[in-house]
Amino acid sequence: MTVPESPITIAVGESSVSGVFAQPDDAFATLVVAHGAGAGMDHPFLLGFTRALNEEAVATLRFNFPYREAGRKFPDRPPVAIAAWRAAMYAAESRTDGKPLWAAGKSFGGRMAAMAVAEGMPAAGLVYLGYPLHPPGQPEKLRDAHLYGLTLPMLFLQGTRDPFATPELLEAVVARIGPSATLEWREGGDHSFGVAGTKRAAVEVGSLLARSVAAFLKQHRESPVSLSPTR
């Protein structure tokens, strides 16, 4: 049975962004999901991912960053993206009846979620859908400094052919973070989790990640997260 989706408007400072909220009747947790740098919240990958999560009894809220809402191509700077993350988490908390509240993101969206948590945004845990550890072909430019102070549960889902994360480097980062971090590889997957020689629509590719994420959330049930209305 398809879970109804409700469009919402999320205030971010003096402007606002769009969001879509869906909550199954038996939801045990809520996952807020941010898009990657090159696509908005309605990309088929995120549609497939969030709708499959709803079938796994996870409520979801996906949202646009301000640059995407305004029709710009270049991603927001971290302060703006982090403000949007805080606002989206607060919007989710007000709709989820005290359920554990998690943050997730595709690539850029996941990295900004981690930076927001590192700056004090409460969350039960983090889920990264293709973490952008370094630019393609530039493994010396690691984007990992903000990860090491985080002690909440973290799930890294990553393709073995992702040019944004050399496997050996990502494994070393996850090991350095410690036992709170879990890394799950998708064999042959690229940055969008596509596998060469396998024809799957993006909506299906996203949906195939949902079961692992739901299982991780169940394994790490936390007390409800309470956010301040000041954002």
Q: Which of 22-26, 198-202, 221-225 has the lowest mean pLDDT?
A: 221-225
Q: Parallel, antiparallel, or unpaired: how do β-strands 5-12 and 15-22 relate?
A: antiparallel
Q: Which helix (H) or strand (E) holds 231?
A: none
Q: How far apart are CA 54 and CA 31, in angstroms?
A: 10
Q: What is the pLDDT of residues 36-56, one digit of tens each?
A: 999 999 999 999 999 999 999
Contacts of 206 (CB under 8 A, 6+ apart): 44, 45, 46, 47, 48, 49, 50, 52, 193
Q: How far apart are CA 101 and CA 28, in angstroms?
A: 10
Neighbours of 144 (CB within 10 A): 18
Q: What is the pLDDT of residues 62-120, one digit of tens each?
A: 999 999 999 999 999 999 999 999 999 999 999 988 899 999 999 999 999 999 999 99
Q: How far apart are CA 170 and CA 168, in angstroms?
A: 6
For the domain made up of 5-219, give the CATH fold.
Rossmann fold (3.40.50)
Can you give the residue ranges of every domain in the chain?
5-219
User: Exposure pattern of 159-195 as b/e (b: 16+ CB <10 Å)?
Assistant: bebbebbbeeebeebbeebeeebbbeebeebbbbbbb
pLDDT of residue 201: 96
Query: Which amino acid would we find at residue 154?
Result: M
Mean pLDDT score, 147-166: 96
Q: How far apart are CA 72 and CA 127, in angstroms?
A: 26
Q: Please state the pTM of the whole predicted model.
A: 0.95
pLDDT of residue 230: 43
Confidence of residue 231 (pLDDT cuts 50, 70, 90): very low
